[in-house]
Structure 1
Amino acid sequence: MSILKPGSMLLGTTRPAELRAWYVKALAPEFTGEGAIDLGGFLLVIDGRDDVEPKNDQPGRVIVNFHVEDFAAVEAQLNAAGVEWVSIEDREKGKFGTFADPDGNYLQIIEWK
């Protein structure tokens, strides 16, 4: 039996152009292509949908994690992009920073110990 490897994620929104611009600015500032945003081989597809609310009312249900080697450098990059931090915590297993996109979806950067 094969182990499935994630290749892409679809993020539905009521404002796809705005959300896509935010993701490019915050997570892939050097990305210049159209369509799916390449996040190191994992593709982020942002699609306009009429079956979702403008804001996610349960943002903790699914959190996309980004494992980083230099928390401070990535934190500075995200601060420069103007992200909204939910929390930054030193935990037993590493440093965790949770932030929200304009639709209220949560993302995290994690530097494991």
Structure 2
Amino acid sequence: MAAPQLNSLLLSSTDPQRLRQWYVAALQPDENADVENYGVLRFGSVYLMIDTRTDISDKSPEPGRIILNFDVDDARAVVERMNSLGVTWLAELDDRDGSLFATAIDPDGNYVQLIQISEAHRNAMGG
């Protein structure tokens, strides 16, 4: 039997349209499928569904519990785009021996980490 595949995440919000618009502007997904009705965004092979719920607060009470990690080709360019949107940073862009990391806070208070792994680190990880 094949292992289950994780191919999507549901990100709940009290204002899903605002949150979807932020993710589209900040991270420019591969596909913006039916944003008006379902808010499905595709980042690589993972779909991010943003929808409303009535059992949550406006801001995430424990934003470090789940961190959305985005592998990017040019972290500096993504940070610059996000800065133009007025993003708040939990952790500014940091060069860790050639790999770049930064953690932003989305409008609902969730942590969004940008990761640009150097070729040397990627090779050391086996791929």
Q: Same fold by TM (over 0.5)? A: yes
Secondary structure of residue in 2 paired with 1:50: coil
Count residues in correspondence.
113
2: CA distance, partners of 1:79 / 1:30: 21
- Give yes or no for the alignment of 1:60 onto 2:64: yes
Stretches of 4+ aligned residues off by more than 4 angstroms: 29-32
Partner of 2:104: 99
Structure with larger RCO (C-alpha < 8 A, sep 6+): 1
Distance 1:64 1:93, change over 3 A: farther
Structure 1: which 5+ runs fail to align?
none
Provide the TM-score with structure 2 as the length reference. Answer: 0.76
Tell me the secondary structure at the aligned position of residue 2 of structure 2. Answer: coil
Query: SS at 1:72's partner residue?
Result: helix
Q: Output the TM-score relative to the length of structure 1.
A: 0.85
Identity within the alignment, %:
42
Shift of 1:31: 5.1
**Partner residue, 2:75:** 71
Structure 2: stretches of 5+ with no match in the other structure: 119-127
Superposition pairs of residues 1-113 of structure 1, within 5 angstroms: 1-28=1-28, 32-34=32-34, 35=38, 36-88=40-92, 89-92=94-97, 94-113=99-118
Cα pair 1:24 1:31 within 8 Å, conserved: no
**Residue identity in the other structure for 1:47:** D
Who wins on radius of gyration, i.e. which is larger?
2
